[in-house]
A = this chain, B = another copy of it.
Amino acid sequence: MTQKKYLVTGAAGFIGSTLVDRLLRDGHTVVGIDNFSTGQRRFLEKAQPTPRFTLIEIDLLHGNIVPHFAGVDGVFHLAANADVRFGTDAPRRDLEQNTIVTHNVLEAMRQNGVTQIGFSSTGSVYGEARQIPTPEDGPFPIQTSLYGASKLAGEGLIAAYAEGFGFKACIFRFVSVLGPRYTHGHVFDFVQQLKKDPANLRVLGNGKQRKSYMHVDDCVDAILLATEKSTEKVGVFNLGCPEYCEVNDSIGWITARMGLNPQLNYTGGERGWIGDNPFIFLDVQKILALGWNPKYTIRQGVEATVDFLTNNLWVYEARS
């Protein structure tokens, strides 16, 4: 494999730091950018000693990021506000962090002649999909969250840069990602609750929401595979396990792994929050056809996450 120089935004994040470690392991040079708003310095402890790794602490919204893109072969743009919930509390946050920042990254690339980009989008762009499992080219959806809308806007900008400026892009529409360094989402919340009170668990919605998940190692495998093999100007790839579970299944796996049997208190309703989607299941035939071979079931991903969290309770302090 040719050694390249990659720039990773959100390098200290969950997926970002896992990707950085993988790129370094494969012999590449990596420039990591993070503003540490949600990124964790400890996630870069493995990368930091490597001479091929440079960390740039800068804000992608307001900082002068252009010089840092010089000489880069490809960009993985993973920096984002990654929480689909609570968008209505701060309506400008998703626009700034997920749309305007993506524009800034594209401009920094264009001004440096960098044209290869991988982008972490989301299955949330499908809103409440009419077709399940949802393919990449199913019915043109209506957005249901500021998060999904802001990511779709990022996708659109990237595709327009591909058309207008000769970029080549891979856009990844993830389900929720699980595994080591996981720092937000339902497993995070449930483990936190159970550490405080092992006898009770509050569940948003009725627990019957059906969701798909994937392990971060499978996610990074897919990102690198598509980056290498996709021949499309703009390749859009769903990424997720080829299975789904109910939130109640996940609760069973979490509590079993922790050896607990709490009382479950449901807030009720088929949606856990405004914009919650009661059924997320993506058609991943396209990435499977490219040769992707996921190694973890959803249950294994949930269990790996519980193990990470219970062994790294510091992440709760770091994120509070």
**A interface residue numbers (CB < 8 A to B):** 87-88, 91-92, 95, 99-100, 103, 106-107, 110, 127, 130, 136-146, 148-150, 152-153, 155-157, 159-161, 163-165, 234, 236, 274-275
Check if A149 sits within 8 Å of B153, measured CB to CB: yes
Q: Which residues of B contact A149 (CB under 8 A)?
A: 153, 156-157, 159-160
Q: A153-B152, A160-B149 are in contact. Are A107 and B92 (CB under 8 A)?
A: yes
CB-based nearest B residue for A137? B139
Q: Which residues of B contact A148 (CB under 8 A)?
A: 156, 160
Question: Does more than half of chain A's interface fall in helix, strand or loop, or is it mixed?
Answer: helix
Q: Which residues of B contact A146 (CB under 8 A)?
A: 157, 160-161, 164
Q: Which residues of B contact A137 (CB under 8 A)?
A: 130, 139-140
20 A-B pairs with C-beta separation under 8 A: A88-B164, A91-B110, A92-B103, A95-B99, A95-B100, A99-B99, A99-B153, A127-B159, A130-B137, A137-B139, A138-B140, A142-B236, A143-B157, A143-B159, A143-B163, A145-B164, A149-B153, A150-B156, A153-B157, A164-B275
Check if A140 sits within 8 Å of B140, measured CB to CB: yes
CB-based nearest B residue for A236? B142
Check if A144 sits within 8 Å of B157, measured CB to CB: no
CB-based nearest B residue for A151? B156
Q: How many copies does the complex hold?
A: 2
In the assembled complex, how far is the CB of residue A298 from the closest CB belonging to chain B, in whole angstroms? 25
Q: Which residues of B contact A155 (CB under 8 A)?
A: 143
Q: Which residues of B contact A156 (CB under 8 A)?
A: 143, 148-150, 152-153
In the assembled complex, how far is the CB of residue A272 from the closest CB belonging to chain B, in whole angstroms? 14
Q: Which residues of B contact A143 (CB under 8 A)?
A: 155-157, 159-160, 163
CB-based nearest B residue for A165? B88
Most buried by B among A100, A110, A146: A146
Q: Which residues of B contact A106 (CB under 8 A)?
A: 91
Most buried by B among A141, A143, A146, A160: A160
Q: Which residues of B contact A103 (CB under 8 A)?
A: 91-92, 95
CA of A105 to CA of B92, assembled, Å:
12
CA of A103 to CA of B152, assembled, Å:
15
In the assembled complex, how far is the CB of residue A19 from the closest CB belonging to chain B, in whole angstroms? 24
In the assembled complex, how far is the CB of residue A89 from the closest CB belonging to chain B, in whole angstroms? 10
CA of A91 to CA of B137, assembled, Å:
27
In the assembled complex, how far is the CB of residue A168 from the closest CB belonging to chain B, in whole angstroms? 13
Q: Which residues of B contact A161 (CB under 8 A)?
A: 91, 146
Q: Which residues of B contact A150 (CB under 8 A)?
A: 153, 156
Q: Which residues of B contact A163 (CB under 8 A)?
A: 143-145, 274-275
CA of A87 to CA of B159, assembled, Å:
13
Beyond the given pairs A139-B140, A148-B156, A164-B275, 10 more chain A to chain B contacts, judged by CB atoms under 8 angstroms and listed by A's residue number, are A87-B160, A88-B165, A91-B164, A95-B103, A99-B99, A130-B137, A146-B161, A148-B160, A149-B156, A153-B156
CA of A51 to CA of B46, assembled, Å:
70
